[in-house]
Amino acid sequence: MASSELIEDTINNVTFWQCLVNVFSKIIAKVVSVMLQLKKPGEDDPRRLIHSFKVALSITLVSAFYYVKPLYDAFDSNPMWIIITVILVSEFSVGATLAKCFNRGLATVLASPLGLGCYHLVNSIMGGHIVEPLLLGTLIFIIVAGVTYMRFLSQVKARYDYGFLVFILTFCMVSVPSYRDEDLLDTVKKRVITIFAGVLISVSVCIFVYPIWGGDDLHKLVSKNLHKLGDSIEGFGDEYFGTSDGEESNKSKLQAYKSVLNSKQIEESLVNFARWEPCHGPFRYGHPWKQYLKIGSLLRQCAYLIDSLIGFLDYTSKTPSETKRKVEEACIQISKETGKSLKELSVSIQKKISPSYAANPSIEKSKIVAMNLKSILKSGLWEGTNIPLMIVIYLLFDVVSCTEKLAESIHELSIQGKFKKKDNKVAPNYPNCPPHLDEPCHGDQEKNIGVHHVITIN
């Protein structure tokens, strides 16, 4: 009996330790999982970590209004508004921070005297009368209702929505207590000063400590989106006609366009932030930021066309091989040249050079092939051709047209933004082109381009 009890106790002890080890293992696994999740945002964009330190630095600086007694006494126990201001206006980019600082500062300056003015107006007319609070409440109702309605205006909401929100908050905080607090003027003055102190510290840290520019992010985003569209359309022809090597990397590139479809909101936000930013780097005062919205709209049009083309990959097996062979070379040529031109436009934006020298040869090649193919389709020799294949061909024509519009818009951006005229690293190297020419030169390849795109129908 004693031995059996000993064995049972041993088993119980082992089970207990196993449970304890399992619990600790789960806790450690959970901690590791959380640490990996915390690590990912910093790996995706290291600037997020820098921004966190910048906000912490701003808060540490404004804490001096509490730690230093003369500063604390000067603001009469109101330094908390400086900390609140820094927390509310500290944004990721310089433009976003400046936008919030401007909105908060202007709203405070306008709302504070308006709130006091409403009280003094009512008090001078109905001082001590029973209808005084009713009249003051009516004024507050009218002003708050009007300002709230103005927030629905598209132009106001895009740039000044935060300012109107702060205006309502400040106006109510001043006008409502003014009925009971007769010494409100001194409090308002100190609050305005503390808010401007917080704004000054936030702007200084944001601009002078590793600034993050919204304009740079917008510029890079448009360049990346162009490259993604180039990857997607460049490999479509080979994938549709079954001439690709079937690598997973090629299939993943075909899906690169999808992120462009949902980029509108990000682009509009970055354009709004960029318009608040001062001159920095190659971006001068009055840089044509709105032109990026036009380019972004064309990018999404092109992405939707590519999305339609990708949908027809499921029908490729249903198209007769003889029919596909008639247009295989031309369609592959169009997709490759269009993809190449989109990538060259991407490099042009990235390096801030005029795209007329870099992208035109590829665009012209794709246009010539498309025109040759159109003339064959109009000749009537293709009656009864497979419908999905015909739709694919005309979608490719639309992609060529959209690419040409993109090139024109980017060329307009380069003129307005005063980009460099040319860059030999980007320009194609044609053997018979004089190096001193600024205009595109196609060399011998242009002379022979017609021969390479002749389509023969048996």
pLDDT tens per residue across span 75-114:
665 677 888 889 999 999 999 999 999 999 899 889 988 8
Look at residue 437 in the predicted model and tell me its pLDDT: 32
Look at residue 130 in the predicted model and tell me its pLDDT: 73
Which of 411, 407, 409 lies closest to 421 in space, CA to CA? 411
316-344: pLDDT as tens digits = 655 556 666 777 888 888 989 999 999 99
DSSP H or E stretch at residue 27: helix 2-44
Q: Is the pLDDT of residue 47 over 70?
A: yes
Q: Is the pLDDT of residue 237 over 90?
A: no
109-143: pLDDT as tens digits = 899 888 888 888 887 776 666 777 888 888 889 99
Specify the residue for token string 């295989």: 328
pLDDT band at 444 (very low <50, low <70, confident <90, very high): very low
Look at residue 158 in the predicted model and tell me its pLDDT: 78
Q: Who's near 165: CB < 8 A, 6+ residues apart?
A: 107, 151
Look at residue 359 in the predicted model and tell me its pLDDT: 57
Burial class (CB in 10 A: 0-12, 13-18, 19+), 266: middle
Backbone angles phi, psi at 115, to 5 degrees: -65, -45
Span 24-30, average pLDDT: 82
Q: Is the pLDDT of residue 227 over 90?
A: yes
Span 383-412, average pLDDT: 85
- Give the number of other CB atoms < 10 A from CB of residue 169: 14
Handedness of CA 88, 92, 96, 97 (dihedral sign): positive
Look at residue 196 in the predicted model and tell me its pLDDT: 87
1-16: pLDDT as tens digits = 455 655 655 655 657 6
Q: Is the pLDDT of residue 457 over 50?
A: no
pLDDT band at 427 (very low <50, low <70, confident <90, very high): very low
Percent of the chain with pLDDT over 70: 79
Look at residue 423 in the predicted model and tell me its pLDDT: 46
Look up residue 244 and give its amino acid. S
Span 277-290, average pLDDT: 85
Angle, CA of 424, 453 and 323, to the nearest 5°: 135
Backbone angles phi, psi at 279, to 5 degrees: -60, 135
Look at residue 193 in the predicted model and tell me its pLDDT: 84
What is d(CA 336, CA 244) in angstroms, rounded to the nearest whole number? Answer: 12
Look at residue 7 in the predicted model and tell me its pLDDT: 61
